[in-house]
Amino acid sequence: MAAFAPDLPAREIARCVRAGDLRAADVVESAFARIDATEPQVRAYLAKDREWAFARAGLVDDRVRGGKPVGPLAGVPVAVKDNICVDTMPCTAASRILEGWTPPYRATVVDRLLEADAIIIGKTNLDEFAMGSSTENSGYFPTRNPWDPSRVPGGSSGGSAAAVAAGSASVALGSDTGGSIRQPASLCGVVGMKPTYGLVSRFGLLAFASSLDQIGPLARDVDDAALVLEAIAGHDPLDSTSLPAAARKPLNGAAADGDGLPAGLRVGVPREYLEASVDEGVRRAVAAALDALRALGATTVDVSLPHTAYGIATYYILATAEASSNLARYDGVHYGRRAPGARDIVDLYSRSRGEGFGAEVKRRIFLGTFVLSSGYYDAYYLKGQRVRALIRDDFEKAFARCDVIAGPTSPVTAFRLGERTADPLKMYAADVFTVAQPLAGIPAISVPCGLADGLPVGLQLAGPPLADSLLLRVARAYESARGRFPGPPS
Amino acid sequence: MKIDAALVDHLAALSRLALDAAEKARLAAELGAILEAVEKVNELDLEGVEPMVFPVPIENVFREDEPRGFCLERERALEGAPERTAEGFRVPRVLSEGA
Amino acid sequence: MSGATDHEVVVGVEVHAQLATRTKLFCGCPTTFGAPPNTQTCPTCLGLPGALPVLNRRALELAVLTALGLGCRVDPRTRFDRKNYYYPDLPKNYQISQLHRNLGVGGFLELGPRGGGKRVSIENVHLEEDAGKLLHDERGPHSVVDLNRAGIPLVEIVSGPDLRSLEEVEDYMETLRSTLLYLGVSEGKMEEGDLRFEASISLRPRGATALGARVEIKNLNSMKHVLGALRHEVGRQAAILRAGGAVPRETRLYDEATGETARMRSKEEAHDYRYFPEPDLAPVALDESWLAGLRASLPELPRARAARFAATYGLPEYDAGVLTADRALADYFEETAAAAGDAKAASNWIMNDVLALLSSGRVPLADHARRVPPSRLADLIGLVRDGAITHTAARQQVFPEMARTGEAPAAVVASKDLAVQSDRDALAAVVERVLAENPKAVDDWRKGKPLKAVQGFLTGQVMKATGGKASPAVAADLIAGALEKRRA
């Protein structure tokens, strides 16, 4: 058995390492060989750390040899989005303003991965400060979709999605604010999940929009995603928005709600999603997925999310407002890049930020500053908060009539690099199906459901707050029925 | 909503972003288009709708008044500083409050 | 200050008080004063990317106590907001503060006698984090940022524009400080920067109701500076108005060296803080019964206590004010008064001898009270009252020794042999001797000189002869008797 074949699930790796059938060091070796093979084209990584990975792998192997217990992710190569702090590697958020900055501390999720004996192999590329849907906004270079290198992997967690799709990581962590885990998962043909807000700690995640951001897993199948989520989820006293311990139920496999589709599952299909502009190939693939769910015993129910059309506007008001404040700290004073030769402190701030931030980040800071500014707060920000409440209420009412909501993750498959960069609004419009769930705080998962013109299509399932294990269960059942999903060609 | 040069300058100052003329012009145009799109929310009757501030019903999250071991040694705290003295972060002389 | 006779002065004061917590408001860094720069910081108070705040429960409690102690209505759903502005001592370039739902509103503070007992409104009390400090680097055109103070818990207390004179302002600041100490919410150590002030002042024609143009003065680190700045402002503004000009609305800073205020080098645009609700902190929901319990547990506050001292112990207003300025001192007084059964004596001793000792020796009351607890001071008072020692000896010799060594008064009296000689037989012999040595005095008395005068002189001689240890009362009485025997 190859030490690290692209289709060897993470849970299998862990099982084999635990049993002594596989050495963690060999897994890491294979992973880096895979990285070397794929990176020239895919460019998913901003940083890699061979030495640290081998050192940790060695520790895991020592423990196994000594008969000591190892964690549920023992020996599993994990890639971490470069907006999550790992203290042994630089953390740049794919921005020039943080070029070369190494955090003096670790994110809680990273602590938990390490406690689970995972091997963090590198930091993945993203749209700068998680702002974007294609990873083209990275301040360093774009990542390419392993399915077609002329196309984007999606964003903002494009690097993580591409690494998992290319097999240069077994699983990965991403972050999702308006779709940034789910949309790239959809475009790269992998599983990606945004948990219920507060399920996973944000301590150590470079904040974009604090009331929307969540860290979540990307993996090649649902069970692996569940394995990672189980390892990283749970109350964190360092994060005031982290759900209390009692709120959480187990997420992984047998400990979760059970196997197979729950009897009598009602799948809500929002009519607004059916009416939205969606590529034909995407529509067909999602329709086939719904057929598969029905064949498993689910009933589909017509539901309405009347404020769907206002989601993007609301998202771009609230997320940019929070972002404009969260990004104020990048000022060249305490860390990161400082513009040389500043005349005075204001000049230092303005030039460091002007030179360090890319166009999309500046655009969003501008918009966010505007909606919070004196005279406009009520007209934009306050209104946005009210519409947010209506969007949350939409879901609440819908979930009275169904258990999960289904639809396409993205209206399109992977588009070509440069295709949408000229028009920000066009880029924003692609978020139509993924902005509402963070606004409502509810969990959502994207599972590959078919191909359209040879490119992956994702099925999105959303559930009520804390229905994470239900979503995983339904997704798993669908996945089994769907059968094996191909990997990228070559 | 008309985005004029004065507003762009004001926002650039508020957000401490130095922009060249081309960037300013571009941002003015983009901001205008984006605002038009987000103004969509004005179509809705929001009378009586409570603003939603927090996505989850968590309340009263506290920590006890005990020292926690996350205090960094000075060297680590100053590690990332672009310019520093032995004691702290160095910046151009600041004379008055509210830069 | 009411020197601007044609104008009325209107002043409001904002006080930032550091809450008496061990750790910062949103992280576990210590708050101890005087640590070397940047040795009390962590990812959260450094504002590092990815760091998050968690609210210090004790800080919230102390802030609520402050609001309750100042008679405010407490908002049970109080909330934090971000105040966005750029400054190098503010690492996140926003301060977590409160605006839309302040912790407390609508309170008041009653001034002392110097402030005419006036009730000053407290507009709001709210909780916020402190910023760091800028140190000016002497070696060059640089400033150095020290973030030790970043994140320290502050309670901000905003008065209404109710103060009309420097006396009122001074009384307000002192009464407020005293109140905060009584509540135990702040240590009020001025030298450690526990209290910082801002004042706003405007002038208006007497009788007018509209407020004049307001000038804010920031960064006043002591009460003295507040008064100095306001004094200067009154003159400056009055001069402008008298010349027919208008006072510009602006923010100024005080230069203690020149005693003058100067316009702050302000930004082109006025601050637009773009307040919005802090998304990184969970909302607070204060339990009504908990609030009621706290309200019931409030200590008797300085003004109320002073009023009670005046009424119950018959003390003058001034004395009551001095004794209640410090809660521990007020406790010391009451315990002494109770043990001695004599409030007036206790008051005199404390106001004269104890306070003098504390200030000249820079002795904290707590240290002094360990050596001279209220019961011992009461004993000393008793000894004087019973005539066992003279008042002079008590003040000049016994008390200082007690304060120095911690000995009981009886022991000091014995070891210094200060006991008043009251034995009539022993004293009678001395009196006889003194009368024999002073025939002229006896003669004067026979010739009609008033008894009191002769008695006084002869008593003095008896005191001299006994080394000051005779009981003056007994001596005087014996002298009167002995003179009578010599009438013929």
* pLDDT, tens digit (0-9, with 9 covering 90-100), for A400-417: 999 999 999 999 999 999
pLDDT digit string, tens, across residues A53-63: 999 999 999 99
Tell me what the mean pLDDT of segment A230-258 comes to: 79
pLDDT tier for residue C274 given thresholds of 50, 70 and 90: very high
pLDDT exceeds cutoff 70 at A281: yes
Between residues C474 and A339, the one the model is more confident about? A339
Q: How far is C119 from chain B (nearest CA, A)?
A: 33
pLDDT exceeds cutoff 80 at A196: yes
Chain C environment of A324 (Cβ under 8 Å):
274
CB contact under 8 A, C59 and B65: yes
Residue of C82, C100, C143, C146 to mutate for B, most B C-beta atoms under 10 A: C143
pLDDT digit string, tens, across residues B47-77: 999 999 899 889 999 999 999 878 999 999 9
Residue of A329, A338, A374 to mutate for C, most C C-beta atoms under 10 A: A329
Q: Among B58, B91, B95, whose Cβ lies nearest the Cβ of C282?
A: B58
Give yes or no for a contact between C193 and C321, defined as CB atoms under 8 angstroms apart.
Answer: no
ipTM: 0.95
pLDDT digit string, tens, across residues C55-114: 999 999 999 999 999 999 999 999 999 999 999 999 999 999 999 999 999 999 999 888
Chain A environment of B43 (Cβ under 8 Å):
310
pLDDT exceeds cutoff 60 at A262: yes
pLDDT digit string, tens, across residues C319-336: 998 999 888 999 999 999
In the set A48, A81, A123, A194, the catalytic residue is A81
User: Is A156 one of the catalytic residues?
Assistant: yes
Q: Which domains does chain C have, with CATH numbers?
A: 7-293 (no CATH), 300-416 (no CATH), 424-485 (1.10.10.410)
Give yes or no for a contact between C225 and C260, defined as CB atoms under 8 angstroms apart.
Answer: no
Which phi and psi (to 5°) does residue C211 adopt? -85, 145
With pLDDT > 70 as the criterion, what percentage of chain A qualifies? 96
In the set A160, A180, A201, A324, the catalytic residue is A180
User: What is the reported pLDDT for A31?
Assistant: 94
pLDDT digit string, tens, across residues C165-179: 999 999 999 999 999
CB contact under 8 A, C145 and B73: no
Tell me what the mean pLDDT of segment A332-353 comes to: 94
User: What is the reported pLDDT for A72?
Assistant: 97
CB contact under 8 A, A238 and C92: no
- Residue A343 makes CB contacts below 8 A (sequence gap 6+) with B92
User: What is the reported pLDDT for A5?
Assistant: 56
pLDDT digit string, tens, across residues C376-421: 999 999 999 988 888 888 998 899 999 999 999 989 988 887 888 7
Helix (H, G, I), strand (E, B), or coil: what is residue C109? strand
pLDDT digit string, tens, across residues A68-85: 999 999 999 999 999 999
* Sequence spans of domains, chain A: 10-264
Chain B environment of A353 (Cβ under 8 Å):
15-18
CA distance B83 to B93: 13
In the set A138, A156, A175, A469, the catalytic residue is A156
pLDDT tier for residue A325 given thresholds of 50, 70 and 90: very high
Q: How far is C91 from chain A (nearest CA, A)?
A: 6
User: What is the reported pLDDT for C5?
Assistant: 64
User: What is the reported pLDDT for C415?
Assistant: 86
pLDDT tier for residue C268 given thresholds of 50, 70 and 90: very low
pLDDT exceeds cutoff 70 at C297: yes
pLDDT tier for residue A361 given thresholds of 50, 70 and 90: very high
> A68-103: b or e for each residue (b if 16 or more CB lie within 10 Å)?
eebbbbbbbbbbbbbbbbbebbebbbbbbbbeebbb
Q: Among A91, A241, A329, whose Cβ lies nearest the Cβ of C280?
A: A241
CA distance A185 to A176: 11
Helix (H, G, I), strand (E, B), or coil: what is residue C445? helix
Chain A environment of B8 (Cβ under 8 Å):
366
User: Is A242 one of the catalytic residues?
Assistant: no
CB contact under 8 A, B63 and C57: yes
pLDDT exceeds cutoff 80 at A256: no
Tell me what the mean pLDDT of segment A366-378 comes to: 94
CB contact under 8 A, B98 and C85: yes
pLDDT tier for residue A254 given thresholds of 50, 70 and 90: very low
pLDDT digit string, tens, across residues B3-28: 888 999 999 999 999 999 999 999 99
User: What is the reported pLDDT for A251?
Assistant: 65
In the block, residue with structure tokens 């963070």? A438
Other C-beta atoms lying within 10 Å of the C-beta of residue B86:
11
- CATH classification number, A10-264, choose in 3.90.1300.10, 1.10.10.1590, 2.60.40.10, 1.10.10.10: 3.90.1300.10
If you measure CA to CA, which chain A residue comes closest to B97? A345
Q: Which has the minimum average pLDDT: A433-442, A447-456, C262-271?
A: C262-271
pLDDT tier for residue A2 given thresholds of 50, 70 and 90: very low
Q: How far is C143 from chain B (nearest CA, A)?
A: 5
pTM confidence score: 0.91
pLDDT exceeds cutoff 90 at A259: no
CA distance C273 to C87: 12
User: What is the reported pLDDT for C423?
Assistant: 79
Q: How far is B18 from chain C (nearest CA, A)?
A: 14
Other C-beta atoms lying within 10 Å of the C-beta of residue A275:
10
The mean of the pLDDT values for chain C is 91
pLDDT digit string, tens, across residues A293-317: 999 999 999 999 999 999 999 999 9
